[in-house]
Structure 1
Amino acid sequence: MTETRPGGHGAPHRPTTPGTGEAPIDPPEELVVAPPRIPVRDERTRAFVEEWRNASYNCYSSGHKFCREVCPVMQVTRNESWTPTAFHANVVAMEKGELDVADIAADYVNCTQCGACELRCPNTLFTGDFYRFRTRTVDVVKAVRALAVDSGVHQPGWQRWNLRTDERTHEPVLGDTPVSQEHVRDWADGLDLPVGGETILFVDCEAAFYRTAVPRAVAQLLTAAGVEFGLMGEQWCCGGPAAEMGYRAQAERFARHNLDDWRAGGVKRVLVLDPHDYITFTEDYPAYFGADFDIEVVLVVELLAELIRDGRLTPSVPVERTITYHDPCRLNKRKGVWAEPREILRAIPGLVFNDVDRVTQWSYCSGGGGGLPVEKPELTAAISARRLDQAAALEVDTLVSACPWSERPLSEAGEARAIDVVDIHELLAESLGITVGGSRGAAGDRTGGCGGGSCGCAGTGGADR
């Protein structure tokens, strides 16, 4: 029977300290270390920790936090829980049994997957060349998000967004535009483009349904240069955004559909105008299909620079603007594509180009990537506003981008500063005397999300139907 102290209400008797006959002194409450909370560890979590522990220890054990100041989310929130270091520390804590994915999933919303932290990390800068090691924060974020979804832990905006994407085979990017398979080629009305062929142009959802002036400019530029291409027979979303939000099975299913469509049509080369598609086709699809993915992927910006060098495109109409260039994160930071867009801009007569040192671009971001606009549009707006402040300091009237997904939040931020946001493909078409047509989108229709209508995500704006 348990011995109790008087008045102890059943509390066990405390033994005396040897040699004194006195009870030991209780330690201060704040120094009492609770036993570790060991969550239920299913096979899925064990496999995740085994795969990512070394990558996270390489970050966590180094102690460096240089990545914080180039993180666009950290720049506007100063929240230490949303830093790259914290993202890796959480994985270490999961291995120790201190945390489970349900405890941390919401933190991983706060990442645009821009890759700036990976470039700034000393493990990449100082040992990467020698050890062939690059800090993999973007991959860790994607893996945690996938683990959360597979474990039944969803973020409401992302879940609704991907349900709508699954229903329509395209992302619900705009309120009043019917987003469906039947309308995916509406942007090309009047351009007389064929369907199929060895080379096809893939147009992402944002450009196909919202910023339709961009694909129209691209198509007419390629036609003017004599590049033969067609459109997909049945184009679905590339699946990249679903993968970035953690819906990996859906992303792979969409990828399989697109690859099957390409093979059925004899496609050998895919032209892409959007950096997000470029990342998806050059990184995700090879990971899904391995050696079976033998499609050549060509970035349109690089192709256009080549066509200018070869004399097949000669910009001659002056464009009287004072500009600077916004490096899309997925081109400059993650793919090292920075020279070709500048080559194009410097070939356009009439432009006053106030460029900045490209190395500093690792701290600039539109906030439009990684699903952030869908779940936290207010953070995207704050990041875009900061980016426009940097442009305004250069006394420009135009910010040029090469990414349709960045141009919506940047346009909204630009309105307040009287700075126009123009896509580089549109600007080149103007200098070639091409009348583009189509829509450049309307700032204010959506600050992230999908319109805030029937989709019900966190975005604001017109009804989504």
Structure 2
Amino acid sequence: MTDISPHDTGSLPSPNGDGGSGATGEFVQQWRNAAYNCFSSGHKFCREVCPVMQVTRNESWTPTAFHANVVAMEQGELQLTDIADDYVNCTGCGACELRCPNTLFTGDFYRFRTRTVDLVKAMRALAVDQGIHQPGWQRWNLLTDERSHEPVLGEVPVSQDHVRDWSQGLDIPVGGESILFVDCEAAFYRTSVPRAVAQILRRAGYEFGLMNEQWCCGGPAAEMGYLEQSQRFARHNLDDWRAGGVKRVLVLDPHDYITFTEDYPKYFGEEYDIEIVLVVELFAEMIADGRLAPSVPIERTITYHDPCRLNKRKGIWQAPRQILSAIPGLTFHDVDRVTQWSYCSGGGGGLPIEKPELTARISESRVDKAAQLGVDTLVSACPWSERPLSEAGDAKAIDVVDIHELLAESLGIEVGGRRGQ
């Protein structure tokens, strides 16, 4: 496993740090320049697009505060124990990074982007390294370690024995050059989504299999600060891919996509040569070249919810709209300023686990914005966003539908499985 360089100003602190002031001092040195850049700027751009700030108005939970704390730690005004709890209040959406003046005014020329999401992850990892735990996150990761999958909120049984239950009756082989990785939320709770994806791939003649022993991707553990666990799970999955001759991994969940394209390369360096394919982009290509031809009209008035990890973090916003434009019968009302003000569901960054009430408020705000467009359906491409959005949508009589399921319906495919409601 490749070590993450301590000289990288955005790198996460080692889980084997020397503890006490030494580890904290090293952390401050890694992040001080970024912190001063933010602290000295003082703009409100980042605060006003932060989904947590929008519903709480708590200045201690803003991107500016997250950076200012590093300055205060360097000056000896704050200790890690004073501020660790504040860093729970971030969904990892990345809106602040896009709206930061340092990104807006220098990014195009210098290819620079403020890295608040990485700072939050690093601070959480430092806290765990120093024995400071959030109770919900600690329990979640202990259960994930025990079951090799995230426990998934609710009463759904989660274990290695059930990870492929969603594929019952589909006769999907194990192994092959291309495999479909199904995130824990979809594999155990929202099984209609992977069933839709698998059957659409079959319709297009795309050959794929499943992992021999799929574990959680490890991304949520890293987001909550449990870096050693994340790396251990990543090692297992990469070894499983290698043993099965896998060359490419198809992913339907944006959180997995971020983990496989950002975290795994940091962990493994040149050893990591797996191609990662986002299913939404693949389906858009298949529609464009005629391998998929949606023909069943779907009479709905919709808007699209951009998953933060696709739009804000990866700049992927066109492919899902290409899919929706190809489905007959839809009346599509898009949100304003798609590439700048993409909204958040509150379903990321471990927030639903530690503060479900805050996630609910953010989802309610998102559904309110959809209701203002006069739609009856909110379409998403992220299983983790669909649970809180569905709960908020019930109060507004707005149905929340996954884009893969919608495409399958227009292709005349009977999906089956659980929609998680």
TM above 0.5, yes or no, is yes
Q: Which residue of 1 aligns with 2:242?
A: 263
Structure 2 CA distance, aligned partners of 1:89 and 1:176? 41
Structure 1 CA distance, aligned partners of 2:337 and 2:323? 15
1:112 aligns with 2:91: yes
Q: Is the partner of 1:42 in helix, strand or coil? A: helix
Matched residue count: 403
Q: Which residue of 1 aligns with 2:419?
A: 440
Structure 2 CA distance, aligned partners of 1:132 and 1:175? 42
> Normalized against structure 1, the TM-score is what?
0.86
Structure 1 CA distance, aligned partners of 2:34 and 2:389? 33
1:409 aligns with 2:408: no
C-alpha contact 1:327 1:361 (8 A) present in aligned 2:
no
Q: 2:206 aligns with which of 227, 240, 246?
A: 227
Q: CA deviation at 1:56?
A: 1.1
Structure 1 CA distance, aligned partners of 2:104 and 2:319? 24
Structure 2 CA distance, aligned partners of 1:430 and 1:387? 25
Higher helix share: 2
Q: CA deviation at 1:363?
A: 5.0
Question: 1:26-59: per-residue Cα shift (whole Å, max 9, x none)?
Answer: xxxxxxxxxxxxxx95221111111111111111
C-alpha contact 2:265 2:272 (8 A) present in aligned 1:
yes
1:55-66 correspondence runs (5 A): 55-66=34-45
| CA distance 1:162–1:252, shift in 2 (3 Å) | same
Structure 2 CA distance, aligned partners of 1:390 and 1:276? 24
C-alpha contact 1:196 1:232 (8 A) present in aligned 2:
yes
C-alpha contact 2:35 2:70 (8 A) present in aligned 1:
yes
Q: 2:147 aligns with which of 156, 164, 168?
A: 168
1:299-314 correspondence runs (5 A): 299-314=278-293
Q: CA deviation at 1:361?
A: 5.7
The AA in structure 2 aligned to 1:208 is A
Structure 2 CA distance, aligned partners of 1:101 and 1:310? 54
Q: 1:315 aligns with which of 294, 297, 306?
A: 294
1:36-75 correspondence runs (5 A): 42-75=21-54
1:102 aligns with 2:81: yes
Q: Is the partner of 1:317 in helix, strand or coil? A: coil
| CA distance 1:173–1:291, shift in 2 (3 Å) | same
Q: Is the partner of 2:341 in helix, strand or coil? A: helix
1:4-403 correspondence runs (5 A): 42-359=21-338, 362-403=341-382
Q: Which structure would you say has the larger Rg?
A: 1
Question: 1:241-284: per-residue Cα shift (whole Å, max 9, x none)?
Answer: 00000000000000000000000000000000000000000000
Structure 2 CA distance, aligned partners of 1:152 and 1:41? 10
Q: CA deviation at 1:360?
A: 6.4
| CA distance 1:107–1:152, shift in 2 (3 Å) | same
The AA in structure 1 aligned to 2:205 is G
Question: 1:332-370: per-residue Cα shift (whole Å, max 9, x none)?
Answer: 000000000000000000000011234366351000000
C-alpha contact 2:204 2:291 (8 A) present in aligned 1:
yes
C-alpha contact 1:319 1:348 (8 A) present in aligned 2:
yes
Return 5+ residue gaps in structure 1 as ranges: 1-39, 443-465
Question: 1:125-145: per-residue Cα shift (whole Å, max 9, x none)?
Answer: 001223332111000000000
The AA in structure 2 aligned to 1:138 is V
Return 5+ residue gaps in structure 2 as ranges: 1-18
The AA in structure 1 aligned to 2:414 is T
Structure 1 CA distance, aligned partners of 2:419 and 2:408? 14
Structure 2 CA distance, aligned partners of 1:107 and 1:169? 28
Q: CA deviation at 1:178?
A: 1.2
Q: Is the partner of 2:396 in helix, strand or coil? A: coil
> Normalized against structure 2, the TM-score is what?
0.94
Q: CA deviation at 1:428?
A: 0.1
Structure 1 CA distance, aligned partners of 2:355 and 2:327? 37
C-alpha contact 2:39 2:68 (8 A) present in aligned 1:
yes
The AA in structure 2 aligned to 1:399 is L
C-alpha contact 1:115 1:333 (8 A) present in aligned 2:
yes
The AA in structure 1 aligned to 2:131 is G
Structure 2 CA distance, aligned partners of 1:343 and 1:186? 31
Structure 2 CA distance, aligned partners of 1:317 and 1:415? 26
